[in-house]
Amino acid sequence: MADHVDLVLEQWAAQRPDLDVSPMAVIGRLSRLSRLITAELRRTFDAHGLDAASFDVLATLRRSDPPHRLTPAELMRASMVTSGAITQRLDRLEARGLVTRAPSDLDGRGVHVTLTDEGHTLIDEVLPHHLATEQRVLAALPAERRDDLADTLRALLESLGDTTGPA
């Protein structure tokens, strides 16, 4: 069995046999998988009136310790987006009543973002559906191959500097 990337590799081998196109076998497949997985996840989020960015913020707040409160800077680091993007996400979520923003008790200049009861309920409702989508996407891989793939991808991410620092 072959996939689209195999065809691309064959075409390059015929047209440019002088080049090592083997990195395309990995990068091309990662790119194609990213698009396909994103589309699958989007369907799940759409069914619950969310997008990936909103889910990301709600999930980040939900997995933080009660009272499920973080600063915008903490949310930005957890989601690796710009402060402007976080502000836009928070504006949308606050307008829907899913999060609140309030001045910090310790520093009036700082702001804390807190998951509301409605936000808590929504993320707890969506999370099982999200996980079911991820399970379905990975169904072709037995657990051992998933673990191996996760380890391989972690090594690649670490090599590119995507780490959390000392544990």
Q: What is the pLDDT of residues 26-70, one digit of tens each?
A: 999 999 999 999 999 999 999 999 999 999 999 999 999 999 999
What order do you get walking across the sheet with 111-115 strand by strand? Answer: 69-70, 111-115, 99-103
Q: Which pLDDT belongs to residue 104?
A: 80
> pTM of the prediction?
0.87
45 CB neighbour count, 10 Å cutoff: 19
Task: Answer yes or no: is pLDDT of 123 > 60.
Answer: yes
Tell me if residue 115 falls in helix, strand or coil: strand
Q: Which pLDDT belongs to residue 32?
A: 97
CB 94 within 8 A of CB 101: yes
Q: Which pLDDT belongs to residue 165?
A: 64
Tell me if residue 147 falls in helix, strand or coil: helix
Task: Report d(CA 155, CA 116) in Å as an integer.
Answer: 37
Task: Report d(CA 134, CA 131) in Å as an integer.
Answer: 5
pLDDT in tens, 6-18: 999 999 999 999 9
